[in-house]
Structure 1
Amino acid sequence: MNTGERQPLVLIPGLSCDARLWQAQVEGLDGVARTMVGDTLSDASIAAMAQRILADAPERFALAGFSMGGYVAMEISRRAPERVTRLALLDTTGDIDTPEMARVRRAAVTTAQSRGYEAVLRGSLNRLVHPETANEVGEEVVAMALGVGLETYIDQQNAIVGRADSRGELASLDVPALVLVGAQDRLTPPRYSQELAEIIPGARYAEIQRAGHMTPMEQPEAVNQALREWLAA
């Protein structure tokens, strides 16, 4: 790979996230990547999100997905493997929800509808961000999610419950891969990322210190460095 080449890079946000999630990566990787943030706000299934992004994406591109965006990235890789030049999965899992996890998601939707979306967001902040970064990014996370809105949150939660198990396809992946997770991620703990890294042939595994679930916002420089190395692989 010519390290001086600016590669097309598609970045996919997670649940209740928009382009603000990736702002530090869009800016920090400008010298090595031509970035596009995929649209996950217009569809009610992972498959439909993947199809929309594929329709808008360059012919061939590097692909990075965060949390729910990881599910979308894996679906894109399954649908169009010939178009994906490399894959990065951040704070995500290749598995499907257990029945208990699906119940928790549906309960969160019910609570957001009855008590208010902002109350749910603020109540979940301690699971989304590391205590040492909460003052820096907590309000940004809440503002972003409120901007995305309750109805999209509901659609995305339902899409996540209905997602496919991607682990079988990942075992035959043949592109440079990065699996990254916040060391203190309480939503998708490192064991899920460790499993992904073991499944994907030759995957690089990176654990980001002083980070919970929202690694691109909590520790942007560490995430950018890991992505730069992945883009140069």
Structure 2
Amino acid sequence: MADPRFHTVTAFDGAELNVQEDGAPDAPVTLVLAHGWTLSTRSWRAQAEALAEGGDVRILRYDQRGHGRSTQGEAWLSGVSGADAGRFGPGPSVDQLGRDLAAVLDQLVPAGPVVLAGHSMGGMTVMALADQRPDLFQPGGRVAGVLLTNTSSGGLSRLTLGFPEVVAKPVRNTIINTLRKIAAKPGKADAFRAKQSTDSLLAVAQTRWLLFGRKAPRAAIVECNEILKTCPSATLAGFFPALMVHDKRAALKNLAGAQVEILASSKDKLTPASHARRLADAIPGARLTVAPGTGHMLPMERPQVVSSLLIQLVAAARAREESAA
């Protein structure tokens, strides 16, 4: 007998998206959680557990294509092309992810108000959906609330990782060259990564430096390492071009019809707080919160901060639905 907590959504190109359901199946509001690059549904575990306790929201968290239990799909290598593919190598696109999110909504949430939350690449996915389906975000539309955390509307190809530009440029080139090698032989990279520790002092220190704040709980870092380790190398390398060429600044105005909360971390090296400020400036009515001393993995480092805003957005969506009844 099929487990009712799990669903399979078929994307536009045949990709099969794994969706996990928590909370109350008959709740008036549905929360959809989109995770970031190299992560999975597990990165939203704390938020799913926190909101499910309330019993008044249906929660759907899904694996992005090529991540977790979701397949790549036939369009995997047709997303980034032309000069961009020549610079970074071919790979899937953020626009494809926007269409995937639309498929999740169309197939699993045919009616009722929706709150969308996107972390990092998941936030870019929400922006792509707003670009493709602006009707969903109009005042009174299906999407009542949006949470964008640790994300960007574009310009990531000039990422500095906190280094001065004279250091950042060769670091970026090294990252690109390494990912090209991984893309060329993903099986070899998988075998190498499978042997890497997730809880050694070095593994924890490296991930803390890149993705977390100095005072982040060690357990959260180890869990993050476990998630990262399960990400296929083809996905790790494949999505990098999409992130580098992502630009949805023109679509941000489409989000204005929903209640938008933006979360940033003061120590985020991948999507710095300056990117969040640009989001807040471009989305009318959006509210920005910056969590001090935290890194890129805010949903895992400070889960209660993220959960609190989601609870507020769900409550507002429910109130809007009741007032319209």
Q: TM-score, normalised by structure 2?
A: 0.63
Higher relative contact order (CA 8 A, sep 6+): 1
Partner of 2:135: 82
1:128 is matched by which residue type in structure 2? L
Partner of 2:82: none
Indicate which of 174, 182, 194 corresponds to 2:257.
174
Aligned pairs for 1:1-233 within 5 A: 6-30=28-52, 31=54, 32-40=56-64, 41=67, 42-43=71-72, 44-57=92-105, 58-59=109-110, 61-83=114-136, 84-98=143-157, 103=173, 105-110=175-180, 116-117=192-193, 122=203, 123-163=206-246, 165-172=247-254, 173-233=256-316
C-alpha contact (below 8 Å) 1:105/1:157 kept by paired residues = no
Q: CA deviation at 1:108?
A: 4.6
In structure 2, C-alpha distance between the alignment counterparts of 1:184 and 1:49, rounded to whole Å: 27
In structure 2, C-alpha distance between the alignment counterparts of 1:70 and 1:126, rounded to whole Å: 22
Q: CA deviation at 1:26?
A: 0.7
Over 3 Å counting, the alpha-carbon distance change for 1:96 and 1:220 in structure 2 is same
> Is the partner of 1:191 in helix, strand or coil?
helix
Residue correspondences, number: 228
C-alpha contact (below 8 Å) 1:93/1:192 kept by paired residues = yes
Over 3 Å counting, the alpha-carbon distance change for 1:111 and 1:130 in structure 2 is farther
Q: CA deviation at 1:82?
A: 2.6
Q: CA deviation at 1:18?
A: 0.1
Show CA shifts across 1:185-229 (max 9, x none).
122121111111111100011112342110000011111112222
C-alpha contact (below 8 Å) 1:188/1:213 kept by paired residues = yes
Show CA shifts across 1:33-55 (max 9, x none).
31111331234222222212211
Structure 1 unaligned regions, length at least 5:
none
User: How well do the aligned residues superpose, as a CA RMSD in angstroms?
Assistant: 2.6
C-alpha contact (below 8 Å) 1:206/1:226 kept by paired residues = no
Show CA shifts across 1:51-84 (max 9, x none).
1221122135211110111111110121123333
C-alpha contact (below 8 Å) 1:13/1:67 kept by paired residues = yes
C-alpha contact (below 8 Å) 1:39/1:49 kept by paired residues = no
Identity %: 25
In structure 1, C-alpha distance between the alignment counterparts of 2:117 and 2:305, rounded to whole Å: 15
Q: CA deviation at 1:181?
A: 1.2
1:37 is matched by which residue type in structure 2? R
Over 3 Å counting, the alpha-carbon distance change for 1:148 and 1:18 in structure 2 is same
C-alpha contact (below 8 Å) 1:70/1:90 kept by paired residues = yes
Q: TM-score, normalised by structure 1?
A: 0.86
1:87 is matched by which residue type in structure 2? V
1:94 is matched by which residue type in structure 2? S
Q: CA deviation at 1:136?
A: 2.7
Show CA shifts across 1:154-200 (max 9, x none).
1221322342x211221342210011012221221211111111111
C-alpha contact (below 8 Å) 2:98/2:128 kept by paired residues = yes
